[in-house]
Each structure stands twice: as C-alpha cells, then as structure tokens.
Chains A and B, each alone.
Chain A
C-alpha cells in the first residue's frame, strides 16, 4: 500500500490540474461535470491499471464517484428556499462530500469548491416523489411476477397457466412477498430515474410492484452510482399493501375486494399471533407445540415490531372511510395513499390523524372515471354520471382541502409517465387553492417527515444530504427550467430537451404507440396459443381494431393508452354469449406484456410483438 500512495497523489494532482485547465479555458460551468469526470476517470484508470496491481483499482472503485470528482460546490448569489426556514433572497449554499456544508447569506466558500454563479437561479431541496415504481425497470410481465409467495398462482376461478399452483386461501399467501425489498430490485437501467431527476425529483419512495403485499418500499436517491445499493437512503421505509391492485399478477384467492380486505386482516392477525407464539415458545419450548415457521409472518411481525409505516391505498371517499375504519385494526403505524377524493372526507382524515400521500395523477375523461365510489363502469358508451364529472373536477382540490384541515400531506406520481406532469398537476392544485409554499413543503420536508427521513432529507439544512434542484424560476411555473440537480452532492445538468407537450386525453393520444399489427402469445391448459391483433387509433383518439385467436375474432369496442399502459376492451362470442375481454398491460417499444381478463376475473398473461420487428430479428439471426 505504501507503494501505491505516491501513485494516488499523482493521480489526484493530475485530476486537479485537468480540472483547473478546464476551468480556465471555459470560464463557465456549462459542460457537464460528470462527463468531464468520466474523462478524468478514464485517464486515471489507464494510469493506474498500466502502472500497478489490481489492488489500486479496488481503492478507487469503493469510492469512485467521489475520488475523481469535485467534492465541494458552492452556489452563490442565488435565491435559496430551504423550506425549513425563510427563503434567502441572495444567498450561498455550500456542498461538501455529498452533504450540505453551509447555507446562508454569505457563508465561507472553501477554496477548492467549484463555484456556480446562481444569479437568477433558485435553489430548492430535491423534490420527493412519495410513491412510484421508478427505479424498478419496466413493468415485468404478469406471469413472471406470479411466482411471488407460496401460492402466487391461480385458483379455480382464475388460473392463469396450468402449471402454476393454486391459491385456495390465506394459508397459501397469495401475491404476498413482504420480505422482498425495492432496495434489492433497483435497476440502474431504468432510464426513468434520470428523467425524474431532470425534472427535479432527486428522491422517491420506491414501491415494489405486484401483489397484495408486494414487499418493502425504500427511500431512494435518483443519482448515479456504480452499485444501485449506494442510492438507497432508507430501507425498509414502508410496507405497502395493495388490496385493490395485484389482479394482474395473481389469481385464485382472493379475487374480490372483500376477499382481499379479509386476507390483509388475516395476515396481520397471523403475524401478531406468530410473534406472540414465538415468544412463548422460545421461553417455554417444553410442553408447547412449535409454531411453524412462516416467511410472511416473520416479515410482517418484524415490520410491526419496527413500527414500519404501512401504506394503504384508498381513492374515493367511500374507500377512504373504509380504510380509516379498517387499517387502524391492523396494529400498525400507517399512511393513506391515493386519496384523490379526500376533499369529501377531510374531517374524518384529520380526526384519524393519518398522513396522506396524495396521488397527483388526476383523473381525466375517458379513462374509466375511476371515481366517486359507486361510479359505474366508466369508459362505456353512457355519458359519465355527475358524480364522476364532479370527481374529475374536484380531485385537484384535495391537497388544498386536506392541508387546510391540518392533515400532513405528500405527493406521489402514481403512474404518471412524464415527470414534468407531476409538477403540472400540482400546479392545478395550487390553482385550486393550495398555497405554493405548502405544495413545496409536501414535495420536500413534508414527504420526508411522513417517510421518516426528515433528519437527513427534505430541506436545505447543514448536515443533510445534498439533494438540490436549481431552477431559473418558480418551481411550479410551467416555463421554468431545471438548470442543475444535485443528488448526494453530485451535480447533474438536465439536457435541454424540448418541452414534451402534456399528455393528451385518455384515448390513445396520451401514450406510447399501440396502433398497428401485433402477434400475441399466451398459454392455456391446451398449450401455447397465438393471436393476431390490429389496433387503430382514430383522429378523435378512439380505438378500434380486431383480435383473432383460436377462440374466434373479436372487435375492439374501446381502448386507451396512458403513458406506456394500455387497456383495451374487445367483444367476442364465447359459448354463444357476447363477452367482453379486457386486455391490459404495458407497451415497451415493440413489445407488449399484459393479460386477458374475462368478466369473471380470470387472467391469462400474454406477450406481444410487432410482426415486422420479429421478422427483422429473424433476418438478423
């Protein structure tokens, strides 16, 4: 090691010199520092590798990001909005080794700091998306997720594939993997982390997908790191429950909402019983029957003992009141998520003293309404009922109403595809009466408080993680551009992308392109099957087309694409009855993954490819 020391010094000198040259030559900080750092890194690597043993490499790889990049930054002459205190009209913020070193009107700037002239810029704490699957990669095919839990597979009512075990009751632990962790599922290949970051979102509560108990959520910084582990701020951060979701990922018990609610209740009863039984058994093994090990019970009882935050979804007023009654019986600390119709029941939410993570993916026309509790099957030919119209009109007022009632709030993107739309949708709430400073707090310190990380994130305070977003204007103004983002003290400059126009109405225009021909593959108990589909999207956004399979040809009656999610209803004759089948899933370029759903809830997963794309692939091979 003594041998290596001089080498390291040389490398550092070189790096500094290189940086100095660059600084002098450019006189500005427009070139992306990370790019430059990579250049330095290349030189270093070559030098180190050619000169010496592999041991040197390991020194650098452990702290690579910081070893060869500037560790000190200062943004001066900027408007600084710490959130925890009053804005500083013309101040300086100093970052050192990933943490905030100083904030104030005129703090000392260390000589080695890269200084950014913040004239005309505003510095905010990095924004927090308090509920997303960004970071977990593209949505997996439902079939792949079915393995979750001992009995991820189908029951009599809804087997998906013949070879998946049946879920016949709570004991099979359907769609239940509470021991899984989003922290372990992070994929650096998920490009959405960069798009979120570029819009100012430095941090998110990343919630595992798939299932009633999909696994534990983690607070994750959307930075860049050699290993995704380095991005994790806190894990486990929350235990999400999803009693209404998961229908695409498992079948069998429980297939109806009431079954799912009872199942959730049984799991918590089991976990509490397990903790009690284990305790008694460990103290008095003789004369007592050994309580059987159960992975789910172990994970949930551990989460309960650690007072982990249960995140429970409820969208409509009816669902919210139901959750307020049911979740407290589980014996866990909890937060409500979704809550778009919270404006109807703010008093009850306040009385329950439960924080709310509001889904800002506001309902829009043509997407099934989603609302008003009893809102009858939206998306049909009937005009939307007044209740649904009112819900769509008033949903954006929920943050204002809840904040006014004194409820702690945060925001989640809830499936929004373009992160710019998160802020646009929050702007609608500001128009509906939410004070901008309250909105900002919900996006930063408020979210950090709910997620239990306000001691390290959420405001511009000395010692906290240096997650910053630097803009050229008010964060909620549509014309505002994000100029810099700092994550764990590392600087990023969002590429000057042309502003993506807001997503359109539900019908087709809003998302990825599904129009054209597709080959769909699926498996039944009769073996592998093929279907061919052709979708067209009309000028008004309406969808038409056909799906031909061994079961006959079906007509598309309606459909919509939002982001990369599609949902298409086809009508076909089955056993002489006209039957609606719903195709839903994800578009990923020339790939579709999703499932067919029959009226009684049976799900059959499928994958789809473009005929031309597969032909090209064959040629290449």
Chain B
C-alpha cells in the first residue's frame, strides 16, 4: 500500500506569506476530484497530536478505520494494508469547525425581499463546486455552518456541511446535525446601511424596535399555525370525517420546529440590548437561542447569555467597521469564556476561514486563554454549539476522523496546512496540489488554444448570458 511522507519544505515555511497566497492561487483552477485514500485504514505516525479535550500526545500515532478514529496513543502499530502517513515534525488537530460561513451557496445568500424569509432554505441551493470549499479546506476547515445572510430579522434555514470537496451537494450535508435558522438583529435587518436606489422602497423594519416586532409577529403566527394543525390532528384522530386540513405554510413550518426544539436559532447580533431583547422574546415564546453570532458586545451580557444557555460565536479582532461594531474588544472571546459561555470564533468570510487557527491564537494574547482553550474556539466549542460534539471537534476514539495536519503548531503563524482529512479521507493535500498545478495550467492553455483556433467559433451566440456563474453573490455577515 501507498505510504506518503510529506517533507517539510523549509523554504515554504520561511516564506510563509507566499505560502498562504499560494493556497489561494491553487484553488482557482482546481477541479473537484474524488478524495484520495486507497484503503479504509490509515495510520498517522510519530506526530504531535492535539486532541483538544484529552491533552497533547508527543510522538503519537493515530489509527483511522472506516472513517473513524480507531486508536490514539504513542504505540499504535500499523495494521497490514494500512496507508501510513509519516507525521514526523507534524501537528495533528481536529478539523476546524466554522460556525458561521456563507460558502457553497448558489444564487444569493440573502432572500432579502422580506423581513421574514424563513421559507428559504440554504439546503436547496448548496453548491458543492464552490471553489471556496476547497480554499477553506486548504485552511484546515472540515465542517461549516452555512448560514443565510443577515438581511432579515428572520432569515432562511441553515445547514451544517462537511467540506467533502468533489462530492455532490447531498453528500456534503452533515448527517444527523440539527438544521438551523438565521436571525439577525440591528443594522442589517433594518437595512440601515443599504443603498436606497431609484425605485427602491425602504423595507420594514427601519428600527431595532421593528426588528423585535417582526420576530414577535412571526412567532405569534407560528403559535397560531401550530394550534390550527394540532386542532386538526386532534379532531381527525377523534374520528371526525371530512375535515379540510389547514394549508401547509413553508414559512411557518421552520418556526414551529424552533418552538419544538427541532431547529437551532443562530442569531446575528452586535449590541448588548438587542441580545437581551432576543433572550426575552425567546423566553416569552419558549424557545432557545442556540448561538449569538458575531455578538461583539457579548462581553457585556455574558452572564445573561450563559444563563439562557446560548453559545457565542464571535470574531477575534474585527471592529469599528460600522457603528454597532464600535464597542468591540479583542478580549470578547476570552471574557465570555470566563463567564461560562461556550464560545467559538467564526469566519463569516471565505478568506477569513482559511486562517481560523490564527484567529483562535489571538485569544492567547488578548485575554490569556490557554493553548487548549484557544484551540477549542475553532474545534470542540463550535461542535457543541452545532450539537455535533459527539461526532467531531476533538481527537477521541470513536469520533469521525476529521483531522488537519499542520507543519507547525497550528497556533503559530508559521503553520501551514499539509493535509485536511474528513471521514478518514484526504480531501486536501498540499503536495498533490502543488504537483497538479502545472498539469492544470497546461490543460487550461490547451482548451484556450482550442477555442482560439475555432476562431470566434461562437456560433449561436448565447442569450443574455445570465449564466449561473453570473449571479451576484451577496455576502453579508
């Protein structure tokens, strides 16, 4: 069986910035391909293993069998036929989990036309060929919470995916992970920063009060809707015949699921008072806010969030990019952690997602989190927030073999991802990527040359050209 031994290229390590740029460049022309991996059994040997929950193992080995972590320790032998990855000098950590992503979405991240767009579902528009999947994979991300945008008080339905590059959309979905719904508070849903262009009517709501009103209104409808169905089902099961069933409403169905605890609420927010507002509304209607997203003033109301049981998914040190982000401090993650909130650091952005390890590392400087607590911000904590910590987020026997291999400590700025592994399969391999670049360039050149020789062969010109590739991608945090 094949044994690969990635060598540390010292030049690459030194030229770290060049290296990081290269990862971006690779991906532009990469093509989805089946993940590598010739056997169901793989051994990573002689590496520094950062389990996150069970300490660090020096010169450790990790056995992967059928996509799961089978053994971890210092004396794990390679079974016959296993693929062996030499981890000498390498660091292995759980795959990074990005709790706030907008990658892999086709045809608009926001259904921004209405204040409650809970009818829309990211699951319907997953695009497994979005190059950002590959780029984020090259940054060590293996799982992402793909969210609707923040243009609406109640946004669309959300989905957790594994970045199984090359697989069709339905194979990306994280099996068994509870779906979510995006809420948004503050400037975005009230459209404070949106350009009102000729012909545009400013949408309700225009204030933070209005945002609360929209949420309250929708849940009032959802409660009535649920009652209507409960009544119908009750009367029907009591034997009443010839009843006209209520109309099924795809906008209210997910809100009923929220009320029944079958769907997580991930709410975009910034300022302290709106965080408290949503906790009050949630308590009133009897649902939980699973995570507050961005939550830059979370440090002011961390106790209240902890009491509600909400997690916080924030940025490391982005601030002042709009009025409601003025009170942000880089100590936010550490302070919320100290108050008992489960905290994660998210990307909200395909580029940011490529260095979430570094974003986590900043909390060691700002707030003094320990090495393991910093790592938790992008591994086990987001796994807990998404309810998938029984499967991913740490290196433990029985968990999914979702792993990243770095050439340095992942919390070092010198760390560059060598391999990203999901379910025991290598989905990103830096050596392979670099090796394939020349071939890809050659094929591109050949195809361009073929087109050129066909000589303006655009017979049957294309109509309008509003191809799917032309759809405007709306990326809002």
Q: Which positions in A face B, CB cutoff 8 Å?
A: 154-162, 166-170, 244-245, 247, 251-263, 265-266, 269-270, 273, 276-277, 280-281, 283-284, 287-289, 291, 315-319, 321-322, 325-326, 360-379, 383, 385-390, 392-393, 414-418, 421-422, 424-425, 428, 502-506, 509-511, 522-526, 529, 551, 560-563, 565, 567, 574-575, 577, 579, 584, 596, 598-602, 604
Contact = CB atoms under 8 A, between A and B. Distances in A.
Contacts of B463: 361, 414-416, 562-563, 565
10 A-B pairs with least C-beta separation: A370-B467, A156-B203, A257-B107, A415-B463, A256-B108, A375-B469, A524-B198, A562-B461, A421-B460, A364-B458
Contacts of B169: 318, 321-322
Given A256-B474, A316-B129, 18 more contacts: A157-B112, A253-B111, A256-B110, A258-B148, A261-B125, A276-B244, A287-B242, A321-B170, A370-B465, A385-B29, A386-B444, A387-B29, A424-B460, A506-B458, A525-B200, A577-B195, A596-B198, A600-B194
A574 B469 contact: no
B127 interface: yes
Interface stretch (B315-323, B355-363, B447-455): B447-455
A502 B469 contact: no
Contacts of A383: 444, 448
7 contacts: A256-B120, A258-B122, A262-B124, A389-B448, A415-B462, A577-B195, A602-B199
Nearest to B250: A266
B195 A574 contact: yes
A143 B124 CA distance: 29
B379 interface: no
Contacts of A281: 244
B199 to A, nearest CB: 5
Contact of B468 (A160, A244, A321): A244
Interface in B326-375: none
Given A156-B204, A157-B112, A169-B251, A377 B469 contact: yes
Interface of B: 28-31, 105-115, 117, 119-122, 124-125, 127-131, 148, 151, 156, 168-170, 191, 194-195, 197-204, 242-245, 247-251, 440, 443-444, 447-448, 450-451, 456-474
Contacts of B129: 316-318, 372-374, 387
A524 B120 contact: no
B279 to A, nearest CB: 27
Contacts of A376: 131, 469
A318 B242 CA distance: 43
Contacts of A375: 467-469
B151 to A, nearest CB: 8
B201 A154 contact: yes
Contacts of A561: 461
Contact of B451 (A256, A392, A418, A424): A392
Contacts of B114: 155-156, 168-169, 253
Most chain B CB inside 10 Å of its own CB: which residue of A167, A262, A414: A262
Given A255-B112, A284-B242, A510-B458, A371 B199 contact: no
Most chain A CB inside 10 Å of its own CB: which residue of B199, B447, B466: B199
A360 B122 CA distance: 30
Given A156-B204, A262-B124, A386-B447, A602 B119 contact: no
| Interface SS of B by simple majority | loop
A363 B461 CA distance: 8
Nearest to A289: B244
A318 B128 contact: yes
B125 A258 contact: yes
A247 B472 CA distance: 12
B474 A273 contact: no
Contacts of A392: 447, 451
A567 B464 contact: yes
A379 B198 contact: no
Nearest to A166: B201
Nearest to B124: A261
A341 B309 CA distance: 47
B121 A273 contact: no
A386 B29 contact: yes
A525 B451 CA distance: 46
B198 A604 contact: yes
Given A156-B203, A284-B242, A370-B470, A425 B460 contact: yes
Contacts of B248: 269, 273
Contact of A602 (B125, B170, B197, B243): B197
B199 A362 contact: no
B178 to A, nearest CB: 19
A153 B445 CA distance: 46
A253 B44 CA distance: 51
B194 to A, nearest CB: 7
A431 to B, nearest CB: 11
A270 B249 CA distance: 9
A390 B31 CA distance: 10
A325 B472 CA distance: 24
A180 B189 CA distance: 36
A361 B469 contact: no
Contacts of B110: 255-256
B127 A283 contact: no
Given A252-B113, A322-B169, A560 B465 contact: yes
Most chain A CB inside 10 Å of its own CB: which residue of B122, B130, B201: B201
A546 to B, nearest CB: 18
B173 to A, nearest CB: 12
B168 A321 contact: yes
Contact of A425 (B151, B194, B201, B459): B459
A398 to B, nearest CB: 14
Contacts of B119: 169-170, 259, 262-263, 266
A284 B241 CA distance: 10
A504 B127 CA distance: 32
B253 to A, nearest CB: 10
B471 A288 contact: no
B150 to A, nearest CB: 13
A315 B170 contact: no
A480 B124 CA distance: 46
B199 A257 contact: no
A525 to B, nearest CB: 6
A502 B459 CA distance: 5
A248 to B, nearest CB: 9
Nearest to A604: B199
A170 B249 CA distance: 10
B121 A258 contact: yes
B459 A424 contact: yes
Nearest to B134: A374
Contacts of B468: 244, 315-316, 319, 370-371, 373, 375
